Copies of this chain bind each other. A is one copy, B any other.
């Protein structure tokens, strides 16, 4: 029997190596905060973190950054008043700023086996400096490469033992595409359901993209 549930946070986070690239889902809602705390406890270092927002001064992302175990953040923005901004200014953190849609598309490309793509987004901006561009149908386009994770940390509303997931409302955001783009996709789910309880037409993230599921009841 396929059975992707794990019983403890330690088991969920086991084996994340130093130097790993971690995809962290969430956008206001849908952040797997329990797993993020698990990552802080797990201790892997020299990590690259791919996340939409480089964070604020509070919350678990700030806590993780404060450990100085993140070598680099790939994100669409960083608030000037944040742990990330301070670490970056102090030379303790690399920063790769990616437009939010390009970030989502690069992650989706990673999951879908696309090796590179051209987009007009950011082609005529500072972010294109020194990079490869090409005019296609009269539009200047920037060449973008896929983002792949060693690990994805994912939030779900429901999960079954095959790892099929649903996400609640706008908590879906980066969760399905980050699950696609990582070798080891670890999920925290608010609810556990029986195989077959999720209607086949309405599974938001199929289990094929999921390796481990931890039940973390909503508080």
Chain A residues proximal to chain B, CB less than 8 Å: 105, 109, 112-120, 134, 136-137, 139, 141, 145, 166-169, 172, 199-202, 204
Contact status of A113 and B117, CB under 8 A, knowing A201-B169, A202-B202, A204-B201: no
Contact of A115 among B114, B119, B202 (CB under 8 A): B119
With the chains together, A211 CA to B149 CA distance in Å? 38
Tell me which residues across on chain B come within 8 A of A136, comparing CB atoms: 115-116, 145
Does A105 lie within 8 Å of B115, measured CB to CB? no
* Contacts A113-B119, A116-B118, A201-B202 supplied; 12 other A-B pairs, CB < 8 Å: A105-B114, A115-B120, A115-B136, A115-B141, A116-B136, A116-B141, A117-B118, A167-B201, A168-B201, A169-B201, A201-B204, A202-B202
Tell me which residues across on chain B come within 8 A of A139, comparing CB atoms: 115
